[in-house]
Amino acid sequence: MRTTNQPFLKLPGTNRLRTLPDGLWLHFSPDRADPYADILCIEACSSLQNLLDKRSRFAPSTTSLLAVCPVPWLLAPSQPNDPAPRWRLIRLLREEPQEALVLPVRDVRVLYGLKSRQYDGFARSQMPQAHEYFCPMEALIEEHGAENPAMRALLARASAAANFMNFPG
- For 78-97, write each residue's pLDDT tens digit: 888 988 999 999 989 999 99
Average pLDDT of the segment spanning 110-124: 91
Question: Given this model, what pLDDT does residue 62 score?
Answer: 59
Which SS3 state, helix, strand or coil, does residue 157 take? helix
Question: Given this model, what pLDDT does residue 31 score?
Answer: 86
| Rounded distance between C-alpha atoms, residue 122 and residue 51, angstroms | 10
| Rounded distance between C-alpha atoms, residue 8 and residue 149, angstroms | 29
- pLDDT digit string (tens) for 155-166? 888 888 887 877
For 73-117, the DSSP string reads HHHSEEETTEEEEHHHHH---SS--SS-EEEEEEEEEEEEEE-HH
Contact by Cβ (8 Å): 128, 57: no
